[in-house]
């Protein structure tokens, strides 16, 4: 985190010099490509999402298992990859699988490059969004994840296809919620627009989900139970106007 | 109570699945908060998943591990907040009866000791006069060759120590056939311990603060540096609830306790005992009190000349009568004797005079409670003292010992000049240091072994002052070694290796962890309701381990203590020494809550924490009463030279109202010549100029008995205080200037309203 | 849009009890009878909130970044080094006043020091809020005095206008040369602040958020149990002098204390019974601080 | 006085246009010094920019310091120009005509100087534009309740309008220059003079516009400095939160502005040999005006002290005491000496009419007013509500350098202006001369009539 502060600082310093500022501004405006596309940054393992998510239709949250429990989705631990792959001898000799196993032998973490990266001062929790759209509205997982991460099941390694800027977040939050109140329940059908042309509901949420995010209470709730619980929530949750344009403090720590 | 319930449970589960440190892989997950590096070409962070985490590890969700604080001998229970295998915050363990979920500044700042950039990461061996970094193989071979053999001339010096470290050291020394185990810690009141032992049969009887209506403390700074910086404040809070107890502090330099006293009495330094005697004589006129002590003693007391003592102590007769009136009216009370009273040649006598008051007032058994003898004596805390340090150094000096092992203490920094600690050290044939930091003593050794911090290591600790008998605090690694495997090592492991060589009994312990857990398991029958397995499918052993580690401490069964039978003899204080006109001032080396005795001078947070009284940071200073300052024609910021018969130091003046005009105080903790970037070269160490005066009875160094002369030196420098150093307006930082910022009401009003409310 | 909204709801903005229907109003109560001035709270704050250690030189220039400081006064509001009390001490003798008439008498602060922990008071009529040109600091519905770091342009007007001077400005980039591995201690729940940004106590907003998160998962998003949120200073305090909680919740410890000590949030002078200890520092400025202090107590008969 | 009627119109053109070329040596010396100062200032700012504002030795509680003082000082200086041109224009005071041009130039340049300081003083300069209300997709607006925001808008308005005023007033002269210039000057002037031919219609439109601008500028000038005052009056800091600040600031502004005019008056008179136009009695008039304003300012100043003293408000009284006997006493007493005592010298005609005496006095007054700005900003911060944070800080080298640079910058701009544009309004001086001739002509006719009558009476007497 501290290095991150340093990195931002360096970037700002870049911006400081009058000319460089202009250049940086131009580059940024030239699109998020320069800043956010990692096609120029090679991932240690050429992970094929299109096989896992696309071909085998593995639920996103099978690997990114923290998404519904924590504010971060989490990169699957190496053990998880191994857990399946040691039972799949067919692909065992592919170079990238070899590489995977070499990491496992060395008990080394895989140094992935971070693709979806929001600044430190941003407070974003996966948990809230997952619980809202998947468990409450019961929408297909890949569609919900696709809202921000794009049609991953067609990718190889993940790409950042949404800007993930404040303006972009607000574009949803405001468009569907009126002016200032982030967090008001959204009308469900608005989101039924498929994320990509090839998109169709992948699988229904039937597997048990923890209702309370408590690892020690794996008390599972059916979807209807969760629905009932969520209906108990008061309608006006955190629904106020403030002097400033938005409740900045909800996102900015 | 202290946090969201899940964390506690997570942490229970955590322990259920074996050691924390051993299982966590120190590397980030999908969270934004661990960045191993930032690739600047694409301005991307690396985000590294864990290799094989346990399923209770959640990126972005913190867990809490219980352990025990080692920042001072008090042994408070702590909860360490962990995220992605990094410890981020230390908090008190609510279940611990020592600190009830609270923590002092030093405990909070343990993190900066743990993550300190100046920690030793490689073993070092002295080659050709200077220390060079070597591989662990070489180091451990050398260690084996030096310690792994019988050697009766080996001397071991360690800081205040308890629990299984102490037990293991004992075991080692026994195996090595050496009897020379010395414990040296500067602040624990050795004289007081001895006197308590003598009078009440236990070095540290239990004090019941909240029962007491009146506490009269002769320089016992129990809110800050008197044995337990957190426990006594928690007691104090109870003591101050309505009906509010009264606190009278009698000392020559205002301590934090004095700053919170209802009446602070600035007494002439070194005369506390006489005042106590005077009070005793006033009490003795009442047969009720006189009857509690032997007749001979009572008669002795009748003969005391109160007026003379009033002159001597600079405490007026009215004040004494008033004190007497209070002691008589408020019952039960508690009279404490502290280091500043005991730190004189006649320290034991002073302590006895002070504790005598407790006997006369009948506090014994009411506010001073007996101890039951400890079930495992070899685990009990050993506070040690200056006498042992002296014995150790003299031994080295005389060649009695050839190998010196130092662990957890820093004599070369702390011992006064006249002890010539460095010279004594150089005399030893071989010097070994187990140390975390490059402190003075460590750098003077031949073999330096970097050890784990207390947040990376296993151990058990018994509190210096434990509120209940049989309390044993457990310490476990809350994260992997900061500098990675192969850098630092566990002290326990290193020593256990040597013990194994010498003593086959220890062969079967894989490592120190196994040793500690094994020992605890054998203690199981002796424990009060040892934990059972909670998670289905757990074995008994796992359940036990999980249970005790998640509590962070165990309670040992103790049998009911016998009532105290106070042993009282006549107090015979010597005639007060005449004030030497060439050294007119008494030097008070005052300990700070924060830098303690100097061991925390390398912790940035504590260097930047203002002194509670003088509000000075990053510096040392000499506190002088305004009157004296006027006489010496100095003001805050001037530099003075403080000269004793054993040396002199230059230090800046901070004019300070809470000190007797005949005393000057220099805080402890600064004046390091080594010890890393944050400590090195800041300020001075008052201990360095102490005079060779010792308590007649115990042979402890009389740290408060040095007389000095103070002379102004030309140059002056800024004193950096909380209120902007030398930029402060006239009295700006001391006066409320009529604003109602801190208001005061009387205890009477307080009690009335509290009872109503 | 903001402008539109502001004009539409102008009456709301002018309302005095603007936030009265919000579920939270965080408040604090500090008992100076218990506070011993040890500084545990200060260190805890350093550890929790990523406060930089500035070092001697910066400290001497007044660039220190402690969000919480302990002020030590030697005199009472009326300027006596002893105590001022309603009602005379029963014992006429009093070391200070007695020999105050003879010049060569030694005087001590015989009633000890006056300690007070001073942090952002989260005023409800905060002077710092209206003056910020970019609305980087403004009032949250929780009664917090929020500072949005990355909106701040560093005009420092808020700092000037703060009567308590508890806003701290990053005069330098204090993180530049933080030696490894100290950065591993930094709390990932909040950012480190960069050069040119104003910062201040947040009532540990990251802990509040965690608690709210848990509460939302537990199914009651608009109610956090009392004690579920503890500020770092409160948690560390050895004498438990600090109470923190939700003033809206009538059963929370802090709101009980406020009631008991008859301090009302939106009054600038409290009509109180005799001897009630509750007060707020500089409340006569009508800034409605959310931190209540309780008088220091001294036994004048001692 | 009546020397003026003998001035040839051609001579006027010659003198003024002459001032555009071949300056005295002193001009280049001053210009060089100024540019050096500016360079130093730029270096200092660059340093502060990279290190952080701490190098300026500001701290808590001194979040504001010299930068803000300078800001007020320069804004204040800008007012006199508008006063002289606009107010005196509307009140038909003839004597303004030879001097208002450079006064207006001064206005413009001091605003340009002042505008630097809020920027330099920001913690994150690179986000300066956030202060401006610009439409954006996140509907994030600046805080319209903040006086700093008002400041920003006020300054921009004032800068633009006084620039316009200056330019419009210059058009006829630019035409003259165009007719006499060659080379790049020719191009420049012909571009700027908008093809002015001096037709009656043009003059008509010109007069209308000019007067209208004047009417617009007077209230604007007053409002601008009132807003600057509200930076302080709107806060709750003791001795900032004062109702009488806006008029107090305006008076102070005019005061320092007049002093500045006197300074420049003498300098120009000497450098460009404008003795005939900038006559002693004009100086006399300015001095009288200055004296009047000085008295107003003093009244407001002392009424402020009195109201603080008698209000007996703990906080404000503390500040007042600290000002008078506290560590800042040299500043405060210096101010009182320079701006309260010194101006009484202007009560004497001999003094008023001595150019060099007035020059020195004007410098003293400006020094006093600069100190006044400093003692407005710093002492209240030093002894604020919270005694614990009381501290005294004196501005460091960086701030001082940048302050010096601001003076350099202003003078540099002004000198360059004098070389490029006519610093004395030719056409209005001609009007002035014309007027003088009219007056003297009329008096001659009257004399003749008298003689006639006497002659007649004499004849009657004979008869």
**H or E segment and range at residue B424:** helix B421-427
Which pLDDT score is estimated for C106? 65
How far is B133 from A228, CA to CA, in rounded Å? 66
With beta carbons under 8 A apart, name residues in chain D contacting B718: none
Q: Give the mean pLDDT of A150-158.
A: 84
Which residue ranges make up each domain of chain D? 2-134+143-448
Contact (Cβ atoms closer than 8 angstroms) between residue B477 and residue B19: yes
Q: Which residues have a Cβ under 8 Å from the Cβ of B731 and sit 6 or more positions away? A: none
Q: Which residues have a Cβ under 8 Å from the Cβ of B561 and sit 6 or more positions away? A: B369, B370, B371, B372, B469
Q: Which residue is closest to B248 within chain C, CA to CA?
A: C302
Task: Compare CB distances from C186 to A2, A245, A248 and report the shortest one's residue.
Answer: A2
Of B100-104, D23-27, D226-230, D325-329, least confident by mean pLDDT is: D23-27
Q: Is the pLDDT of residue B355 over 90?
A: yes
Which pLDDT score is estimated for A26? 53
Q: Give the mean pLDDT of B610-631.
A: 90
**pLDDT tens-place string over residues D380-389:** 998 889 888 8
Q: Classify residue C221 by burial, with Cβ atoms within 10 Å: 0-12, 13-18, 19+.
A: middle
Task: Compare CB distances from C146 to A179, A245, A249 and report the shortest one's residue.
Answer: A249
Q: Give the mean pLDDT of C255-264.
A: 90
Query: Hey, are the CB atoms on D152 and C3 less than 8 Å from each other?
Result: no
C92 touches chain B (CB under 8 A): no
Q: Which residue is closest to D140 within chain A, CA to CA?
A: A245
Query: Hey, are the CB atoms on B43 and A35 less than 8 Å from each other?
Result: yes
* Token duo for residue D333: 């007493």
With beta carbons under 8 A apart, name residues in chain B contacting C69: 610, 722
Of B75 and B33, the one with more pLDDT? B75
What is the nearest CA distance from A146 to chain C, expressed in angstroms? Answer: 24
Q: Give the mean pLDDT of A18-43.
A: 52
A15 touches chain D (CB under 8 A): yes
What is the nearest CA distance from C138 to chain A, expressed in angstroms? Answer: 7
Q: Give the mean pLDDT of B738-742.
A: 87
* Residue whose tokens read 């430190």: A120
Which pLDDT score is estimated for B623? 93
Q: Is the pLDDT of residue C247 over 80?
A: yes
Contacting subunits of D (3+ beta carbon pairs below 8 A): A, B, C
Chain C, window 203-232: residues with a beta carbon less than 8 angstroms from a chain B beta carbon: 210-211, 214, 227-228, 230, 232
Q: Which residue is closest to D315 within chain B, CA to CA?
A: B739
Q: Give the mean pLDDT of C153-168.
A: 93
What is the nearest CA distance from B12 to chain A, expressed in angstroms? Answer: 10
With beta carbons under 8 A apart, name residues in chain D contacting C197: 123-124
**pLDDT tens-place string over residues B508-562:** 999 999 999 999 999 999 999 888 887 777 788 888 888 888 889 999 999 888 8
With beta carbons under 8 A apart, name residues in chain A contacting B50: 77-78, 109
Q: Which residue is closest to C160 within chain D, CA to CA?
A: D63
Q: What is the DSSP letter of B725?
A: G
**H or E segment and range at residue B583:** none
With beta carbons under 8 A apart, name residues in chain A contacting C194: 5, 8-9, 12
What is the nearest CA distance from A204 to chain D, expressed in angstroms? Answer: 36
Chain C contact probe: residue of D47, D49, D50, D63 with most C CBs at under 10 A: D63
CATH number of the domain located at residue range(s) D2-134+143-448 in this protein: 1.20.1630.10
Banded pLDDT at C79 (limits 50, 70, 90): low
Q: Give the mean pLDDT of D248-273.
A: 88
Query: Hey, are the CB atoms on B47 and A114 less than 8 Å from each other?
Result: yes
Closest CA to C160 of D328, D241, D401: D241
Task: Compare CB distances from C196 to D53, D141, D385 and report the shortest one's residue.
Answer: D53
Task: Compare CB distances from B618 to C40, C56, C184 and report the shortest one's residue.
Answer: C56
- What average pLDDT does the structure give for chain B? 86
Global ipTM: 0.85
With beta carbons under 8 A apart, name residues in chain C contacting A214: 217
Banded pLDDT at A17 (limits 50, 70, 90): low
pTM, two decimal places:
0.86
Most confidently modeled range among A11-25, A126-140, A239-253: A126-140
A244 touches chain D (CB under 8 A): yes
Q: Is the pLDDT of residue D89 over 90?
A: no
Contact (Cβ atoms closer than 8 angstroms) between residue D260 and residue D111: no
**pLDDT tens-place string over residues B669-709:** 999 998 999 999 999 999 999 999 999 899 999 999 999 99
How far is B684 from B644, CA to CA, in rounded Å? 14
Task: Compare CB distances from D390 to B732, B738, B741 and report the shortest one's residue.
Answer: B732
Q: Give the mean pLDDT of C221-228.
A: 85
C7 touches chain D (CB under 8 A): no
Which pLDDT score is estimated for A193? 36
Most confidently modeled range among A17-26, C61-70, D37-46: D37-46
Which pLDDT score is estimated for A244? 29
Query: Hey, are the CB atoms on C85 and B745 less than 8 Å from each other?
Result: yes
Which pLDDT score is estimated for D452? 87
Q: Is the pLDDT of residue B1 over 60?
A: no
Banded pLDDT at B662 (limits 50, 70, 90): very high
Of A117 and A177, the one with more pLDDT? A117
**pLDDT tens-place string over residues A179-214:** 444 444 444 333 333 333 333 332 222 222 323 333
- Cα D10 to chain centroid distance, Å, stands at 31
Q: Is the pLDDT of residue A219 over 50?
A: no
What is the nearest CA distance from D73 to chain A, expressed in angstroms? Answer: 29
How far is D161 from D215, CA to CA, in rounded Å? 12
With beta carbons under 8 A apart, name residues in chain B contacting D314: 738-739
What is the nearest CA distance from C18 to chain A, expressed in angstroms? Answer: 9
Contacting subunits of C (3+ beta carbon pairs below 8 A): A, B, D
**pLDDT tens-place string over residues B120-139:** 999 999 998 899 999 999 99
Q: Classify residue B127 by burial, with Cβ atoms within 10 Å: 0-12, 13-18, 19+.
A: exposed
Chain A contact probe: residue of C14, C124, C138 with most A CBs at under 10 A: C138
What b-and-e string marks burial along B497-534, b requiring 16 or more CB atoms within 10 Å of the CB?
bbbbbbeeebeebeebbebbbebbbebeebbeebbebb
One DSSP character per residue, chain C reads -HHHHHHHTHHHHH-TTTTTTSS--EEEEEETTT-----HHHHHHHHHTTPPP-HHHHHHTT----SSEEEEESS-TT--SS---SS--SS---HHHHTTSSTT-----TT--EEEEE-----TT-THHHH-TT--EEE-TTS-EEE-GGG-----HHHHH-TT---EE-SS-TTTTPPTTGGGGS-TTSPPPPTT-EE---SSHHHHHHHHHHHHHTT-TT---TTSS--HHHHH-TT--EEEEETTSTTSHHHHHHHHTT--TT-SS----TT--EE-TTGGGS---SEEEE-EEE-TT-
Q: Is the pLDDT of residue C91 over 80?
A: no
Which pLDDT score is estimated for A226? 43
Contact (Cβ atoms closer than 8 angstroms) between residue B28 and residue B47: yes
Q: Give the mean pLDDT of A170-178.
A: 61
Contact (Cβ atoms closer than 8 angstroms) between residue C278 and residue C294: yes
- Cα A65 to chain centroid distance, Å, stands at 11
Banded pLDDT at B644 (limits 50, 70, 90): very high
What is the nearest CA distance from B742 to chain D, expressed in angstroms? Answer: 12
Q: Is the pLDDT of residue B493 over 80?
A: yes
What is the nearest CA distance from D1 to chain C, expressed in angstroms? Answer: 53
Query: Hey, are the CB atoms on A9 and C189 less than 8 Å from each other?
Result: no
Give residue ranges of C with CB < 8 Å to any A CB.
Answer: 1-2, 5, 9, 12-13, 19, 21-22, 129, 135, 138-141, 144, 146, 148-151, 173, 175-176, 178, 183, 186, 188-192, 194-195, 205-206, 209, 213-214, 216-219, 221-222
Closest CA to B738 of C76, C281, D391: C76
Q: Which residues have a Cβ under 8 Å from the Cβ of A131 and sit 6 or more positions away? A: A68
Chain D, window 54-113: residues with a beta carbon less than 8 angstroms from a chain B beta carbon: 59
């Amino acid at each position: 985190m501290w290095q991150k502060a340093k990195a931002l600082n360096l970037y700002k310093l870049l911006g400081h010099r009058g000319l460089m500022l202009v250049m940086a501004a131009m580059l940024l405006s030239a699109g998020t490509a320069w800043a956010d596309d990692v096609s120029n940054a090679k991932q240690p393992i050429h992970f094929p999402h299109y096989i896992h998510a696309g071909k085998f239709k593995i639920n996103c949250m099978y690997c990114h298992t923290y998404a519904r429990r924590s504010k971060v989705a989490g990169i699957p631990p190496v053990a998880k990859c191994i857990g399946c792959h040691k039972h799949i001898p067919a692909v065992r000799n592919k170079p990238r699988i070899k590489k995977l196993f070499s990491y496992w032998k060395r008990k080394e973490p895989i140094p992935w490059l971070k693709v979806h990266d929001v600044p430190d001062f941003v407070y974003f929790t996966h948990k809230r969004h997952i619980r809202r759209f998947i468990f409450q509205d019961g929408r297909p997982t890949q569609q919900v994840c696709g809202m921000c991460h794009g049609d991953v099941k067609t990718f190889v390694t993940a790409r950042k296809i949404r800007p993930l800027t404040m303006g972009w977040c607000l574009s949803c939050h405001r468009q569907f919620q009126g002016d200032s109140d982030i967090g008001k329940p959204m009308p469900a059908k608005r989101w039924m627009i498929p994320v990509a042309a090839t998109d169709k509901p992948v699988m229904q949420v039937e597997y048990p989900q923890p209702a309370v995010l408590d690892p020690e209470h794996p008390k599972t709730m059916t979807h209807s139970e969760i629905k009932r619980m969520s209906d108990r929530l008061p309608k006006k949750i955190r629904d106020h106007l403030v002097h400033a344009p938005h409740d900045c403090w909800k996102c900015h720590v | 109570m202290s946090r969201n319930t899940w964390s506690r449970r997570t942490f229970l589960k955590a322990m259920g699945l074996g050691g924390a440190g051993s299982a966590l892989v120190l590397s980030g997950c999908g969270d934004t908060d661990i960045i191993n590096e930032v690739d600047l070409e694409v301005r991307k962070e690396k985000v590294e998943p864990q290799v094989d985490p346990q399923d209770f590890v959640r990126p972005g969700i913190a867990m809490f591990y219980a352990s025990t604080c080692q920042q001072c001998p008090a042994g408070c229970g702590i909860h360490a907040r962990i995220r992605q295998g990094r410890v981020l915050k230390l908090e008190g363990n609510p279940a611990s009866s020592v600190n009830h979920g609270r923590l002092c500044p030093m405990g909070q700042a343990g993190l900066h000791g743990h993550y300190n950039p100046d920690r030793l990461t490689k073993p070092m061996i002295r080659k050709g006069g200077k220390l060079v970094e070597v591989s662990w193989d070489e180091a451990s071979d050398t260690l084996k060759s030096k310690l792994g053999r019988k050697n009766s001339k080996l001397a071991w010096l360690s800081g205040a120590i308890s629990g299984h470290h102490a037990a293991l050291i004992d075991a080692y020394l026994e195996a090595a056939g050496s009897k020379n185990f010395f414990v040296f810690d500067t602040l624990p009141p050795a004289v007081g311990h001895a006197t308590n032992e003598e009078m009440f049969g236990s070095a540290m009887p239990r004090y019941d603060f909240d029962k007491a209506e009146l506490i009269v403390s002769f320089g016992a700074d129990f809110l800050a540096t008197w044995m337990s910086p957190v426990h006594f404040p928690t007691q104090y809070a109870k003591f101050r609830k309505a009906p509010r107890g009264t606190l009278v502090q009698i000392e020559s330099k205002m301590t934090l306790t004095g700053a919170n006293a209802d009446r602070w009495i600035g007494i002439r330094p070194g005369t506390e005992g006489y005042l106590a005697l005077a009070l005793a004589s006033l009490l003795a006129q009442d047969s009720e009190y006189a009857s509690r002590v032997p007749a001979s003693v009572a008669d002795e007391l009748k003969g005391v000349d109160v007026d003379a003592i009033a002159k001597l102590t600079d405490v007026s007769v009215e004040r004494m009568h008033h004190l007497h009136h209070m002691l008589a009216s408020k019952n039960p009370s508690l009279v404490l004797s502290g280091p500043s009273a005991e730190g004189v040649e006649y320290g034991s006598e002073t302590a006895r005079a002070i504790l005598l008051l407790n006997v006369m007032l009948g506090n014994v058994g009411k506010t001073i409670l007996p101890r039951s003898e400890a079930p495992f004596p070899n685990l009990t805390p050993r506070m040690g003292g200056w006498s042992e340090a002296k014995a150790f150094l003299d031994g080295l000096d005389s060649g009695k010992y050839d190998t010196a092992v130092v662990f957890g203490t820093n004599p070369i920094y702390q011992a006064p000049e006249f002890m010539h600690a460095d010279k004594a050290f150089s005399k030893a044939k071989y010097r070994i240091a187990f140390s975390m930091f490059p402190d003075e003593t460590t750098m003077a050794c031949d073999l330096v072994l970097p050890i784990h911090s207390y947040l990376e290591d296993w151990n058990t600790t018994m509190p210096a002052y434990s509120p209940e008998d049989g309390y044993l605090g457990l310490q476990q690694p809350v994260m992997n070694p900061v500098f990675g495997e192969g850098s630092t090592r566990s002290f326990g492991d290193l020593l256990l290796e040597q013990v194994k060589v010498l003593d086959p009994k220890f062969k079967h312990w894989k490592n120190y962890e196994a040793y500690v857990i094994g020992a605890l398991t054998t203690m199981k029958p002796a424990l009060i309701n040892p934990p059972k397995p909670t998670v289905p499918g757990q074995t008994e052993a796992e359940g036990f381990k999980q249970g005790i580690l998640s509590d962070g401490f165990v309670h040992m069964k103790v049998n009911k203590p016998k009532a105290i039978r106070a042993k009282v003899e006549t107090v015979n204080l010597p005639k007060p020494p005449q004030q030497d006109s060439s050294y007119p001032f008494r030097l008070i080396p005052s300990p700070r809550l924060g830098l303690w005795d100097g061991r925390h001078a390398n912790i940035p947070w504590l260097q930047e924490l203002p002194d509670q009284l003088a509000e000075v940071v990053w510096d040392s200073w000499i506190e002088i009463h305004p009157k004296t300052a006027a006489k010496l024609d100095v003001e805050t910021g001037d530099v003075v030279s403080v000269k004793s018969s054993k040396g002199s130091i230059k230090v800046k003046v901070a004019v300070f109202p809470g000190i007797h005009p005949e005393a000057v105080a220099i805080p402890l903790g600064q004046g390091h010549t080594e010890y890393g970037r944050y400590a090195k070269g800041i300020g001075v160490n008052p201990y360095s100029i102490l005079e060779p005066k010792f308590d007649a009875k115990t042979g402890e160094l009389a740290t408060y008995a040095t007389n000095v002369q103070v002379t102004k030196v030309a140059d002056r420098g800024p004193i950096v205080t909380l209120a902007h150093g030398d930029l402060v307006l006239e009295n700006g930082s001391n006066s409320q200037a009529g604003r109602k910022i801190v208001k005061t009401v009387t205890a009477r009003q307080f009690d009335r309203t509290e009872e109503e409310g | 849009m903001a402008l539109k909204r502001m004009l539409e709801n102008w009456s709301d903005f002018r309302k005095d009890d603007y936030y009265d229907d919000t579920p939270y109003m965080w408040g604090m109560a500090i008992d100076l009878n218990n506070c011993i001035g040890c500084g545990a709270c200060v260190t805890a704050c350093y550890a929790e909130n990523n406060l930089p250690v500035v070092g001697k030189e910066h400290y001497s220039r007044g660039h220190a970044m402690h969000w919480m400081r302990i002020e030590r006064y030697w005199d009472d509001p009326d300027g006596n080094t002893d105590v001022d009390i309603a009602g005379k001490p029963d014992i006429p003798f009093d070391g200070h006043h007695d020999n105050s008439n003879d010049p060569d008498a030694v005087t001590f602060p015989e009633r000890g020091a006056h300690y007070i922990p001073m942090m952002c008071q989260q005023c409800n009529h905060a002077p710092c809020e209206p003056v910020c040109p970019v609305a980087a600091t403004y009032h949250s519905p929780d009664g917090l005095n929020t500072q949005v770091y990355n909106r701040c342009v560093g005009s420092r007007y808020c700092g000037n206008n703060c009567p308590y001077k508890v806003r701290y400005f990053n005069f330098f980039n204090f993180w530049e040369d933080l030696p490894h591995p100290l950065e591993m201690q930094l709390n990932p729940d909040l950012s480190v602040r960069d050069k040119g940004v104003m910062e201040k106590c947040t009532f540990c907003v990251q802990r509040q958020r965690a608690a709210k998160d848990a509460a939302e998962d537990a199914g009651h998003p608009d109610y956090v149990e009392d004690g579920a949120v503890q500020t770092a200073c409160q948690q560390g305090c050895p004498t438990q002098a600090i109470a923190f909680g939700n003033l809206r919740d009538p059963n929370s410890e802090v709101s009980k204390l406020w009631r008991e000590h008859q301090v009302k949030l939106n009054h600038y002078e409290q009509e109180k019974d005799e001897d009630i200890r509750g007060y707020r520092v500089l409340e006569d400025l009508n800034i409605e601080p959310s931190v209540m202090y309780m008088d220091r107590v001294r036994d004048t008969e001692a | 006085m009546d020397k003026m009627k003998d001035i040839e119109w051609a001579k006027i053109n010659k003198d003024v246009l002459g001032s555009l070329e071949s300056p005295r040596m002193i001009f280049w010396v001053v210009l060089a010094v100024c540019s050096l100062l500016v360079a130093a200032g730029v270096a200092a700012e660059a340093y502060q920019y990279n290190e952080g504002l701490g190098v300026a030795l500001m701290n808590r509680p001194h979040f504001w310091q010299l930068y803000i003082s300078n800001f007020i000082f320069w804004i204040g200086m800008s007012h006199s120009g508008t006063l002289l041109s606009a107010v005196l224009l509307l009140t038909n005071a003839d004597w303004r005509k030879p001097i208002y041009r450079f006064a207006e130039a001064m206005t413009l340049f001091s605003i340009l100087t002042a505008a630097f300081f809020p920027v330099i003083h920001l913690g994150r300069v690179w986000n300066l534009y956030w202060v401006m209300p610009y439409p954006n997709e996140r509907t994030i607006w600046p805080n319209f309740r903040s006086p700093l925001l008002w400041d920003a808008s006020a300054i921009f308005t004032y800068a633009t309008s006084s620039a316009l005023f200056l330019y419009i007033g210059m058009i006829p002269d630019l035409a003259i220059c165009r007719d006499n210039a060659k080379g790049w000057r020719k191009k420049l002037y012909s571009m700027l003079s908008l093809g002015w031919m001096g037709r009656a219609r043009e003059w008509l439109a010109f007069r209308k516009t000019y007067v209208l601008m004047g009417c617009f500028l007077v209230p604007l000038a007053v409002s601008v400095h009132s807003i600057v005052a509200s930076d302080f009056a709107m806060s709750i800091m003791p001795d900032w939160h004062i109702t009488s600040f806006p008029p107090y600031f305006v008076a102070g502004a005019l005061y320092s502005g007049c002093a500045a005019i006197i300074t420049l008056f003498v300098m120009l008179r000497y450098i460009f040999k404008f003795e005939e136009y900038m006559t002693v009695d004009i100086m006399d008039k300015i001095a009288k005006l200055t004296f009047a304003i000085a008295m107003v300012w003093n009244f407001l100043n002392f009424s402020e002290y009195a109201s603080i003293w008698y209000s007996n408000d703990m906080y404000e009284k503390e500040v007042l005491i600290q000002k008078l006997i506290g560590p800042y006493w040299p500043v405060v007493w210096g101010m009182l000496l320079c701006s309260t005592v010194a101006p009484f010298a202007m009560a004497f005609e001999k003094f008023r009419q001595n150019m060099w005496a007035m020059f020195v006095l004007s410098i003293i007054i400006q020094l006093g007013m600069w100190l006044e700005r400093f003692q407005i900003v710093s002492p209240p911060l030093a002894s604020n509500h919270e005694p614990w944070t009381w501290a005294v800080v004196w501005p460091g080298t960086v701030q001082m350098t940048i302050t010096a640079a601001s003076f350099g910058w202003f003078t540099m701009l002004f000198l360059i202006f004098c070389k490029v544009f006519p610093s004395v309004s030719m056409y209005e001086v001609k009007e002035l001369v014309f007027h003088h001739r009219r007056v003297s002509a009329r008096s001659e006719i009257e004399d003749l009539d008298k003689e006639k009558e006497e002659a007649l009476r004499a004849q009657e007497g004979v008869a």
